[in-house]
Amino acid sequence: MTASVKLISIASVTTGAVGTAGVIYFKPKQANVTIRQELEKLGKTILRKAEDSRWEIQEYIYKEVISKTPSFKIDDKGVLTKNELSQWCLESLNKPYSLDLYNKVKAFCLAPSAKDKLSKNNKTVATSLTQQVENYKKYTQNDDLKIPEQEMENKKQDTLTEGDLKKWCNSHLGMELYDGDDKNYKRVEKWCTNTV
């Protein structure tokens, strides 16, 4: 064997050993990563209690998602109750990470948004908010439906434009819902949806 062939052979063996060592080193570490740990990196709320009212919305989301993407079915079921879904989610959080399981848990086990609840309640986001902004300017009750001024860039209620309300609606539609009575959702439903 020539000197150059010996060097190439040694380099191949060395590279192979390093690659194998890398797999051996990283594989056990990856096996210890749970679905919960990966989801926590997203900075979103994980639904952790079976009695959380938001499971009703997640039950609806499950039906909607699997009607479009059957591969997302859990245990090959086309329908899951909120109790079955919450139980599955709570059990899945501590399982080792796998991409398929992670994607399902991410889709069905995180706090839903205001837009998700609107969809469940058959409400649609208005494309034009002309009527809503006029109604809002005339709204005199000082209750939870009134949008805090600081959320409207400190603009007075009677000076708001349709653009201001659209901006507020767009930023609040994606916000996570709170368990129970959610003031944000009530405002979004009142001021951002088509009036009947």
Q: What is the pLDDT of residues 67-115, one digit of tens each?
A: 999 999 999 999 999 999 999 999 999 999 999 999 999 999 999 999 9
Q: Is the pLDDT of residue 137 over 90?
A: yes
Q: Is the pLDDT of residue 7 over 50?
A: no
- Write down the pLDDT at residue 31: 60
Q: Where are the beta strands (DSSP E) in the chain?
A: none
Q: Is the pLDDT of residue 4 over 80?
A: no
Using a 10 angstrom Cβ sphere, with 0-12 exposed, 13-18 middle and 19 or more buried, the burial of residue 104 is: buried
**Regarding predicted confidence, which is higher, 21 or 145?**
145
Q: Where are the domains of the chain?
A: 35-111, 117-192
62 is written with which tokens?
Answer: 């499950």
Using a 10 angstrom Cβ sphere, with 0-12 exposed, 13-18 middle and 19 or more buried, the burial of residue 75 is: exposed
Residues forming a β-bridge with 110 = 46
Q: Is the pLDDT of residue 26 over 80?
A: no
- Write down the pLDDT at residue 181: 85
pLDDT tens digit string along 33-52? 999 999 999 999 999 999 99
44 is written with which tokens?
Answer: 């979103």
DSSP code per residue over 132-177 = HHHHHHH----STTSPPGGGGTT--GGG--HHHHHHHHHHHHTSBP
Instruction: Give the whole-angstrom CA distance, residue 193 versus residue 120.
Output: 13
pLDDT tens digit string along 138-184? 999 989 999 999 999 989 999 999 999 999 999 999 999 999 889 99
Query: pTM for this structure?
Result: 0.77
